[in-house]
A and B are shown apart, each in its own frame.
Chain A
Amino acid sequence: MRQLLRRLRYILRQRQLEADLRAEMAFHCELAEHDLASRGAARDASLAAHNAFGSAALAQNRARDVWIWPWMQDAAHDVRLAVRLLRKDVGFTVVMVLVLGAGIGVSNTQFTLLNAICLRGLPIERPDRVLSVEGRDPRDRRLGLSFRELEEVRSAAPAFAGVAASADLSVAVGDAGRTPDRAVGTYISSEAFGLLHARPLLGRVFEAGDDRPGAQPVAILANGFWKARYGGDPAIVGRAIRTNGTPTLVVGAARERFEFPGRVDRRAQGDGADRARPAGGLRRHDAVEPRVYRHPHRTVDWIPLR
């Protein structure tokens, strides 16, 4: 953060600071030449000066790269060039701007519609009040939370209506006498459905008892997956399937368009292909097994989901 402020200050005062650096390096050069001369170094003076000039320009470029990322300098350069080119041919520019404007307008409208249908259609009453909590390691890579950390979040945040946990995984779903299908599934704690006020199409949602260690593993099938693999057969509820080899009881099937919030963005961009294939099965069983990830400098971020 403070580095960012220093960077900003540099960009704002770039001219002055680069002049400083030039003065500083000229001083360096002078002293070096003075030293050479006093030691009577037998070197061609103009060649030495030329060498010094070359390395000075390089040093200044490298010094600038420290403060302003090279891609930003390149981008600024590109923009300047683009503006000059566009000014050269005003008629072309006007037509281009109109065409681009119309194009952007149309896709923007499409997105707004999609947004209204897909995102607002989510079974969450106030999406702006949902927070996602995740761990980050010192290099800002995402890490999950351990069960113990989840418990800490639970007790440290009494202002929340509730806290639910989830973890994505790849699931092979199998039945006797059929080839298994691979799907993306989500382990989810039992509170989640209550918090989202989600009702299934068939059967029931996960309940508090499903969370206890040793409980019968249960699954809710995503709507698309239910239709694709089981042809939308309502008799699936109450049947046992195998998820990654574990016998699992199907307790429900989700409504169309219900997907877990973690995948909202994929839905928004989806072109239909995403939804047509078995995209997800919601299920949970023994995820409450305490698994503790240890990391010495882990931080926890709170990220509002929109």
Chain B
Amino acid sequence: MGSRESPELLPGTLDLLILKTLVGGAMHGYGIAQRVKEVSEEVLQVGESSLYPALQRLLLRGWVRAEWGASENNRRARYYTLTAAGRKQLAVERQEFDRLIVAIHKVLNAT
């Protein structure tokens, strides 16, 4: 516990990470957090105090759908799936993010 979202995370990046993680299929909240942690080799730790509000935000925008189902150990868990709108949003945000990174690079490498 006590895991914290990396404070350096750029605004809006968490939504992007969640959307991307859901491309592989339906996942519950804990699964998403674990997956992000694993793939980023423990650099990105998503705390629940930012994860669940973010998921609610995505629900509100209609980018993900939530359904109750049985977890691996047969517990009731809420599974999130990407909607078509969410897929589109992922592409948009990804592009925006790449643009931002390129821009930051340019500034850092400017002579």
A63, B53: Cβ atoms under 8 Å?
Answer: yes
CB under 8 Å from chain A, chain B span 58-111: 59-62, 68, 71, 75-78
Q: 1/0 contact trace for B1-19 toward A, CB 8 Å?
A: 1100000000000000000
B77, A27: Cβ atoms under 8 Å?
Answer: yes
A7 within 8 A of B: yes
Q: What B residues does A82 contact at CB under 8 A? A: none
Q: How many residues of A contact B (CB 8 A)?
A: 32
A184 within 8 A of B: no
Q: A51-B2, A62-B53 are in contact. Are A67 and B60 (CB under 8 A)?
A: yes
Bound Cα distance A222, B104 (Å): 55
Q: 1/0 contact trace for B24-36 toward A, CB 8 Å?
A: 0000111001000
Q: Which residue of A lies closest to B31 (CB)?
A: A31
Instruction: From B1, B48, B75, name the one whose CB has the most chain A CB atoms within 10 angstroms.
Output: B1
A56, B48: Cβ atoms under 8 Å?
Answer: yes
A28 within 8 A of B: yes
Bound Cα distance A66, B55 (Å): 10
Q: What B residues does A65 contact at CB under 8 A? A: 53
Picked from B53, B62, B76, the residue with its CB within 8 Å of the CB of A23 is B76
Bound Cα distance A51, B4 (Å): 12
A198 within 8 A of B: no
Picked from A7, A21, A33, the residue with its CB within 8 Å of the CB of B1 is A33
Q: 1/0 contact trace for A1-12 toward B, CB 8 Å?
A: 011001100100
Bound Cα distance A6, B66 (Å): 13
Bound Cα distance A29, B29 (Å): 10
Q: Which residue of B lies closest to A33 (CB)?
A: B1
A167 within 8 A of B: no
Bound Cα distance A20, B53 (Å): 13
A52 within 8 A of B: yes
B40 within 8 A of A: no
Bound Cα distance A51, B76 (Å): 24
Bound Cα distance A30, B77 (Å): 12
Q: What B residues does A23 contact at CB under 8 A? A: 76, 78
Bound Cα distance A23, B78 (Å): 9
Q: What B residues does A33 contact at CB under 8 A? A: 1
A256 within 8 A of B: no
A24, B29: Cβ atoms under 8 Å?
Answer: yes
Q: Which A residues have a C-beta under 8 Å from some C-beta of B?
A: 2-3, 6-7, 10, 20-21, 23-25, 27-33, 36, 43, 48, 51-52, 55-56, 58-60, 62-63, 65-67
Shortest 3 CB-CB distances between A and B: which pairs?
A: A62-B53, A59-B49, A66-B56
Pairs across A and B, CB under 8 Å, 30 listed: A3-B60, A7-B60, A21-B52, A21-B56, A24-B29, A24-B52, A25-B29, A27-B77, A28-B28, A28-B33, A29-B48, A30-B75, A33-B1, A36-B1, A43-B1, A48-B1, A52-B1, A56-B49, A59-B49, A59-B50, A59-B52, A59-B53, A60-B52, A62-B49, A62-B50, A62-B52, A66-B53, A66-B56, A66-B60, A67-B56
Q: Which B residues have a C-beta under 8 Å from some C-beta of A?
A: 1-2, 28-30, 33, 47-53, 55-57, 59-62, 68, 71, 75-78
A3-B60, A27-B28 given; 15 more Cβ-contact pairs under 8 Å: A2-B62, A20-B68, A21-B52, A21-B56, A24-B52, A27-B30, A28-B48, A43-B1, A48-B2, A55-B48, A59-B49, A59-B53, A63-B52, A63-B55, A66-B57
